[in-house]
Amino acid sequence: MTAALALEQATRTFRNGSGIFDVDLELTSGQIVALVGLNGAGKSTLMRVLLGMLRPQSGRALLNGDDLDSAPMSAWARVGHLVEYPLAYGELTARRNLELSARLRGVADVTAAIDRVITEFALEQYADRRARALSLGNRQRVGVAAALQHDPSTIVLDEPTNALDPAGVIRLRESLLRRAADGAAILVSSHHLDEVARIADRIVVMNAGRLIGNLAPDTPEIEHAFFEVVRAHDEKRDEERGEKVGS
Amino acid sequence: MMAGLRAAIWAEAVKLAGSTVGRVGSAAIVIGISVISASMLLAAATTTDPQLLAKLGPVAAGDWRGFLLGAVQITGAGGLGGFAVILAWMFGREFGDGTIAGLFALSVRRTTIALAKLIVYLAWATAMSLLLAIVLALVGTLAGLGPIGTGTLEALARQAALGVMSVAITLPVAWAATLARSVLGGVSVAIALVVVAQVSVLAGLGGWMPLAAPALWAISLGTTVSPLQLSLLIPFGAIFVVLITQSWRRMQLDR
């Protein structure tokens, strides 16, 4: 089966030397992949390359098997994403912002889609408030709702639980589980390991721009296991650097 | 493509109409220019100070011709600046507010979104220019300048046309806001445009300088700038439309 979104040996670096290196990742239908890593590990960069916000310097980023540049635009209508800031314009109400996102994704019945997602994320009492007047958490809810309202078959969310209250976190979790069960391919980044362990089929660990291993979601003391993987990778890098300096 | 463009035009129109910047900018251009023009007229009618009358220039005559010449002079600099600030905001705010990331990975191309911004800007600027001409006609009539004859109608048409032509001149602002990833980057270029336009008039570059041609044309009652010189605005604008849409197409979120 062709992956919905995929990276093949993708490398994208910045002038300061940070970036992502030789990343291989596939998002497939019905699976939730959690991307975990410390701040600065490269999670957001990976997601940006995956969504075409950054072009890889080597390797490929693919949507349904096509390079992002040559993928048909219509294929993007089935993708939902929230990377960094929610697409919520301060001067517009929550409902208007949702309408804007829906229209830009070519949703056929905009009103029905908005009504559904407002109920799903309990946004009724905030729907007619301007986004500027919403709390950070509620604004995030609007952003998540905007990313999911068109029932995408591929979902990429960067730290979606940021600023969400516990009720919002539960609603998001249920929404993602239901969407995965309906066949969506999902990538979620987080630094809350317990949170992602509850919903992920696969947990991918990222460190210093590289995918360094997987954790089984049912790993006992998962945080401890995570730090072990990261520490082992850091030590290996230190050794390699030492060898380079020594040689 | 067409459905995407329609959706993007709707989105841009809703954003501009809903924003404080859009409302204040619209009011500042229409009411601001009308009030300044009216105040000059009032000053001309009430003062006997020869120095002040000299400063008021054509407006001192206290007729339609002088009143509308004053208005095009203000529009040539102030209107241009006002339009440019709105354009800088339309493009630069996506970066400042972080909404630019949400404009990737959509079924609407970013070039289409940039084009929609320009179309909405053109429509807004045209509406403001027409409205300003209508308000000026009302102000002049209320001030007792007499009936609107053919010459006055032509001057009002030039006033509106000056506004619409300013759209082409301001396009570098959208490109600058895109490259600088900020409203301020666009505003800086807006200020530079106004200065360059004024200086090139003083330096006698005249009608061959696209930045100055529309204002010179309107101020000279359409005499000193030829249609060919005015038509240079079309390639000037087209070059910047291409530069803007290409920058949006090739854009990466690498900063």
Query: Which residues, listed in sequence order, are joined to residue B215 by a DSSP beta bridge?
Result: none
Could you say which of A14, A52, A96 has the minimum Cβ distance to residue B254? Answer: A14
Using a CB-CB cut-off of 8 Å, the residues of chain B touching A96 are 14, 18
Cα A56–chain centre separation: 18
Contacts of B103 in chain A (CB under 8 A): 87, 104
Residue B164 belongs to some domain of the structure: yes
- Chain A residues with CB inside 8 Å of B20's CB? 91
Q: How far is B124 from chain A (nearest CA, A)?
A: 18
d(CA B30, CA B71): 11
- What's the rounded Cα separation, in Å, for the pair A86 and B99? 7
Does residue B42 sit within a domain?
yes
Query: Average model confidence (pLDDT) for chain B?
Result: 93
Tell me how many domains chain B contains: 1
- Give the Cα separation of B151 and B77 in Å (integer): 23
B146 within a domain of the structure (yes/no) = yes
According to DSSP, the residues that pair with A144 across neighbouring strands are: none
> Hey, how many other C-beta atoms are within 10 angstroms of the C-beta on A125?
10
Q: What confidence score (pLDDT) does residue A190 get?
A: 87
A232-241 residue pLDDT tens: 999 999 998 8
Q: In what order do the strands lie in the sheet with A202-207?
A: A79-82, A154-158, A185-190, A32-36, A202-207, A210-215
A124–chain B nearest CA distance, Å: 21
Crossing angle, helix B110-142 and helix B20-27, to 10 degrees?
30
B10 Cβ under 8 Å from any chain A Cβ: yes
Structure tokens belonging to residue A45: 């960069």
Residue A247: its pLDDT value, please? 62
Residue ranges of domains in chain A:
5-40+55-246
Closest CA to B245 of B114, B92, B106, B94: B114
Q: What is the pLDDT of residue B170?
A: 96
Residue B107 and residue A90: Cβ atoms within 8 Å? no
- Residues of B in Cβ contact (< 8 Å) with A156: 105
Pairwise CB contact (< 8 Å): A91 & B18: yes
CB contact under 8 A, B108 and A104: yes
Residue B255 lies in a domain: no
By residue range, what is the domain housing residue B229? 2-250
Residues whose CB falls within 8 Å of the CB of residue A201, separated by 6 or more in sequence, listed in order? A31, A32, A33, A180, A217
Residues 100-139, chain B, touching A (beta carbon < 8 A): 101-109
Q: Which two tokens stand for residue A36?
A: 């975990």
Residue B113: closest CA among chain A residues belongs to which residue?
A104
Quick check: is B192 in a domain? yes
And the tokens for A97? 């912002």
CA distance B140 to chain A (A): 36
| 8 Å CB contact between B194 and B80 | yes
Read off the tokens for B115: 């084009």
What parts of chain B have a pLDDT lower than 70?
1
pLDDT score at B180 = 97
Can you say whether the dihedral through the CA atoms of A49, A52, A58, A60 is positive or negative?
positive
**pLDDT tens across the length of chain A (247 residues):** 688 999 999 999 999 999 999 999 999 999 999 999 999 999 999 999 999 999 999 999 999 999 999 999 999 999 999 998 888 999 999 999 999 999 999 999 999 999 999 999 999 999 999 999 999 999 999 999 999 999 999 999 999 998 899 999 999 999 999 999 999 999 999 878 888 888 999 999 999 999 999 999 998 889 999 999 999 999 999 998 888 776 6
Q: Would you call A79 and B105 a contact, using CB atoms and an 8 Å cutoff?
A: yes
**Residues of B in Cβ contact (< 8 Å) with A105:** 106-108
Work out the minimum CA distance from A20 to partner chain B, whole angstroms.
13
Report CA torsion sign: B52, B56, B57, B59: negative
Question: Distance, in angstroms, between A51 CA and closest chain B CA?
Answer: 6
Of A14, A55, A77, the CB nearest to B107: A77
Of the candidates A190, A160, A244, A206, the residue with the CA atom closest to the CA atom of residue A19? A206
SS (H, E, C) chain B: CHHHHHHHHHHHHHHHHHCHHHHHHHHHHHHHHHHHHHHHHHHHHHCCCHHHHHHHHHHHHCCHHHHHHHHHHHHHHHHHHHHHHHHHHHHHHHHHCCHHHHHCCCCCCHHHHHHHHHHHHHHHHHHHHHHHHHHHHHHHHHCCCCCCCHHHHHHHHHHHHHHHHHHHHHHHHHHHHHHHCCHHHHHHHHHHHHHHHHHHHHCCCHHHCCCCHHHHHHHCCCCCCCHHHHHCHHHHHHHHHHHHHHHHHHCCCCC
pLDDT value of position B46: 84
B residues 64..103 contacting A (CB < 8 A)? 97-99, 101-103
What number of other Cβ atoms are within 10 A of residue B221's Cβ?
15
Query: Taking the C-alpha atoms of A166, A167, A170 and A174 in order, what is their torsion angle to the nearest 10 degrees?
Result: -160
How far is the C-alpha of A145 from the C-alpha of A159, rounded, in Å?
A: 14
User: Which CATH architecture group holds A5-40+55-246?
Assistant: 3-Layer(aba) Sandwich (3.40)
Q: Which of A14, A86, A91 sits opposite B19 (nearest CB)?
A: A91
B144: in domain: yes
The residues that bridge with A32 in the sheet, in sequence order, are A186
Determine which of A91, A136, A142, A148 to mutate to test the interface with B (most B C-beta atoms within 10 Å): A91
* Minimal CA separation from A184 to chain B, in Å: 17
The reply to whether B54 falls in a domain is: yes
